[in-house]
Structure 1
Amino acid sequence: MSVRILALVGSLRAGSHNRQLAEAAVKLAPEGAEIELFEGLAEIPFYNEDIDVEGDVPAAAARLRAVAGEADAFLLFSPEYNGTIPAVLKNAIDWLSRPYGAGAFTGKPVVVLGTAYGQFGGVWAQDEARKAVGIAGGTVLEDIKLSVPGSVVRFAETHPVDDAEVAEQLSEVLNRLHAHVDAPAAA
């Protein structure tokens, strides 16, 4: 059985370096793991309990929940917007946190990583994402991190998958996540 990992990217920009990092993860997925890059976060309305009604959930949010429900683990790719988590990623976390106590993240491993222009690679935003997804029920793997600084310069002409150092670090993250998910099944 293949481990299903869902990747959510907190940037909607076509040339997003975080999206490129997620694309690299898809290519570098370890044997026995399948990483799906979720498309459609831009179509999901802001979370509002008034529209989160059983049987009448907006289609885009229902699709996210369905795909996330099938995932064994999550990769959240977060850039840093004004020192914190981007709204699109926070919105996805909010939708996946419901129903309370039984959302799609509940009990599943989550790794938060990313890249940003600054010298720390977006660690503030990634820390905020870890906090939010942990409260939403995810099992945040705090010891598995990757923050790539200087994205605008570093990836100006090189895709992350072609950056040997980043590809090696990302492969290590993916292998550790895969091992974590696979460990309970092997026991």
Structure 2
Amino acid sequence: MPDKIKVLGIVGSLRKNSYNRLLLLNAKSLLPEDATLEIFDRLGEFPLFNQDLENDPPQIVKEFKKKIRESDAILIATPEYNYSIPGVLKNALDWAARPYGDNPFEGKPVAIMSASIGMLGGARAQYHLRQVLVYLNTITINKPEVFVSFAHKKFDEKGNLVDEEAKKYIAELLRNLVNTARLLKHQYGLIRA
């Protein structure tokens, strides 16, 4: 059996009971069997990005970049703040991509999902995040788009996702992410051989 694909989940919210954190927790049970998911939810520990410090970043940034490098794929779950991505997520992405030439996201497959109490489910945040990911030169999984709208109605009191339609789309997104990561890993292995 091939090695398991390592997926790093990034929570774009600091809120303890964030619906996006719950999405990632629920994604663990929807993963293909040949994958694992580790959740990184320490974005609140990052200082604001300061280019003066990019060559010797804080330890939390070094840890984040190491986890990105060690993963085969990335799964980001983010809310939408003011029609865009939360500042804490953008800050972490800015730290990770610096200094120029030291971008651990380069060539990584990345999938996005979002949950919101509103009708659009975080759609505008995802579109802005996709723009950032273009600069980071990721391989963004385009389909299916996962927007969990009216999120306060989609989870039970224990944090379990109870929306079967959402589960179906998340499982499909995860399959596409893992399959892409597996393909890239195989191709990279052929190139290096």
TM-score, normalization by structure 1:
0.91
Change (3 A) 1:184 1:136: closer
Distance in 1, Cα, partners of 2:5 & 2:86: 27
Q: Which residue of 1 aligns with 2:74?
A: 74
Worse-superposed segment, 147-156 or 65-74: 147-156
Change (3 A) 1:77 1:115: same
Matched, 1:41 2:77: no
Q: Which residue of 2 aligns with 1:122?
A: 122
Shift of 1:99: 3.1
Contact 2:156 2:162 in 1 (8 A): no
Q: Which residue of 2 aligns with 1:17?
A: 19
Shift of 1:156: 5.8
1:88-99 aligned at under 5 Å gives the runs: 88-99=88-99
Distance in 2, Cα, partners of 1:121 & 1:61: 29
Distance in 1, Cα, partners of 2:109 & 2:93: 14
Distance in 2, Cα, partners of 1:44 & 1:85: 16
Q: Deviations over 1:122-179 (max 9, x none)?
A: 1000111111122122121223420111112333646344432222221111111111
Q: Which residue of 1 aligns with 2:138?
A: 138
CA RMSD, aligned part only? 1.7
Worse-superposed segment, 166-175 or 103-112: 166-175
Q: Which residue of 1 aligns with 2:163?
A: 163
Q: Deviations over 1:8-67 (max 9, x none)?
A: 1111111100000010112222111111101311101111111112xx320111111111
Instruction: Classify the secondary structure of the residue corresponding to 2:52.
Output: coil
Contact 2:106 2:137 in 1 (8 A): yes
The number of residue pairs the alignment matches comes to 185
Distance in 2, Cα, partners of 1:130 & 1:41: 19
Identity %: 35
Distance in 2, Cα, partners of 1:156 & 1:46: 35
TM-score, normalization by structure 2:
0.88
Distance in 1, Cα, partners of 2:158 & 2:172: 20
Q: For structure 1, which runs of at least 5 residues remain unmatched after alignment? A: none
Instruction: Classify the secondary structure of the residue corresponding to 1:50.
Output: helix
Distance in 2, Cα, partners of 1:101 & 1:127: 25
Instruction: Classify the secondary structure of the residue corresponding to 2:53.
Output: coil
